Amino acid sequence: MKILLLTNKSHKVSLKVIKFLKIKKIKFTCIDTGLKRKIKITGTYDYLFSFLNPVFIKKNIRKKIKKISINFHPGPPEYPGYGCYNFALLDTVNSYGCTAHEINSKIDNGKIIDVRRFKFKYKNINLEKLIKMAHRNSFFLFKKIINQIINHNCVKIKKNEKWEKKKAYTKYEFENARKINLNDSLVNILKKIKAFSYKNYETVYLEIRGKKYDLKEKK
């Protein structure tokens, strides 16, 4: 079995994925897509695994994969695309998940292979905690599928799981969602702050005379 792994090594869980493949003594090539935005490969591979990979995988790459190309999306089928964590928190969810799916020509659209769900209390969660939980469960899902391939030499498609949103969330929708409007209620403002507050990343903002002002806490 020969694997092409596309992942952003800046994530701690990506390093766990690499370590797991080494422990299993699986032959693989890893491209750090946190550094390389253009994917170039020579030769063919049996499987492609996209794990927390920010780069879109074009058809010319997928054509070099003999069996299947799989993406591990850090969100459930209800939240495909960009900002999956954020949109879930805006919906005040009490459960979340991660999805392994076949890669096709669209973002988070291919046949679903498996979903791993987990529960929590909305009042006890924040964006950082949700991201960590999603990454951890994505890793468990990755291990499950690798073991399935080793033991059964195949990947099974889950017919009872479907993407619930026809089109994946976009960067444009993300930008609109994190904007605080003058007519927003206090409840909605607090929800947005909770959904978009994470370290030094993009947070909520006000737009005044065409300019964006991020509302970040002073340290």
* CA 90 vs CA 132, 182, 189: distances in Å: 18, 18, 10
Instruction: Provide the residue type at 78 as one letter.
Output: E
Rounded to two decimals, the pTM is 0.92
Rounded to whole angstroms, the Cα distance separating 33 from 130 reads: 23
Residue 153 confidence (pLDDT):
81
Neighbours of 158 (CB within 10 A): 15
- List the one residue out of 80, 103, 61, 82 whose CA is nearest residue 165: 80
What spatial distance separates the first Cα and last Cα of the chain, rounded to whole Å? 49
What integer is the mean pLDDT of 57-68? 95
Question: How confident is the model over 134-151, as pLDDT tens digits?
Answer: 999 999 999 999 999 998
User: In angstroms, how far is CA 134 from the centroid of its own chain?
Assistant: 8
